[in-house]
Chains A and B, each alone.
Chain A
Amino acid sequence: MPRYILKRLGLALLTLVLLSLIIFFAGSVLPGNPGRAILGPFASQQAVQILNHQLGVDRPLVSQYWTWVTGILHGDLGTSTQFHLPVSTLLFPALGRSLKLALVAFVIVVPLSILGGVLAALYRGRFVDRSISVTGLSLTSVPEFVSGVVLIVIFAIGLKWFPVTANPPPGTSPLGQLHYLILPAIPLVFVLFGYIARMARAGTIEALDSDYVRTAVLKGLPESVVIRRHVLRNSLLPTITVIATQTGYLIGGLVVVETLFNYPGLGRLIVTAANNKDFPTLEAGVLVIGIVYLGATLIADILYTVLNPRIRYEQAE
């Protein structure tokens, strides 16, 4: 078991190193001449060269990458070229706000989609199942800004139940803040609902078809006890992994939702950085998304091992 965790940790670190190389390649090699990109086509060649020297981008790539990575390991994420501030002072408050929004989405989606998936499985092939599955598939495939726009038109402009932005005025109480976050969280809920419900449905069907459930039914246990004690305990295990894996995708969706609802989180920071060719902020932001995702999948894998006695005992042998 500890050996498995160590191995899994090593793999995650290796992936992280590769990921940092890819991000560095995209952010520091592909754009070509950052000085020219920042100063525009009419700046003098000399000014461009001076800026490139100040940014350190006229050095060999290997040395640039090394400076970037060692900086990150020391907590220095670089300097934003648009705000002239350390990236970390922009990034961490934004990450905090994004996590707050993500948390609201999670609190809504997890119980809802598990309930949906289990219901679909219990009424397999019937109308309930078909409508839950088709709704899930449709909601999952629609981009967040599309459902977001429809939600704003209906609930913020038509019915006026929620504000149009996600940004509460300063001094709003926590409950008031929640009111601002619900509408932006729903597009994220939509995208995740389909995946999680599908996994919960598949897991529940597998458990329902198993011999131990048939035995439990045959020995006369009431249906509610069978479902609670025999079906759900086994069926929700794979769902946990899916939920954790979706964290990364949730953060991808934040980029869009935060732009649409004007919410100053990590996603909008990345989009603003991209619009202003602020590559240090963009690279750091994307790297943080990757780290969050890798961390979430790592935790999911370990959690799965801890919760699943079958894997646990195999590892022990």
Chain B
Amino acid sequence: MPANLKDGPLKQHSVYVIDDDRDVRRSLSFMLSAAEIRSHPFGSGLDFLEALPDLEPGCILLDLRMPQMDGFEVMDALAERKVDWPVIVMTGHGEVPVAVRAMKLGAVDFVEKPFSEQALLGCFNQAFGLLKDREAAGRRRREAHERAALLTGREKEVLRSLLAGQSNKEIAQSLGISLRTVEMHRGNMMDRLQASSLAEALTLALEAGIEPAQAPAG
């Protein structure tokens, strides 16, 4: 695990530290800045959620035991807002069941207080990788949505039928149109999606959340 992340992908991303303990917040900010990681401290989950709409994607370092709103509630709130930034939770020593519960809620990792710099940076290394992947997936999804939005009704129907594994002939039959017309819609659909192969078009369809067509009756 690289102890120095200077040249890694981390530099461009922020860490949001959420802990009600001022000393812990200050010390984390200091340690992360010494490791050249940008961090933004928040004294409570509410403060963080309030600022969330204006924040760039980043990793979240979250204390579980906090007054008013604890770490679990913060994770629930993030899920509600469909924010999938990687969350690393901080637990007390020996709180394995608590950590397990957090992992089930989607935390990517946990550290036990007090933790070593190496352990924390190791977690971040993984989390930032994940963040990058999730961001890329997000971008792809947005793109797929944008392209899928360009499809006409017929083109989308053809795509859904293809997703259901139907051949051009079957599609023509179930839609009640000629084979030639199906082929035309299919070509236009491929163009609009900027797909060079059927596999690519189907992947895009899935990323855009397009459902397969129902199998024709009989």
Note whether A and B form a binding pair: no
Interface residues, chain B, CB within 8 Å of chain A?
none
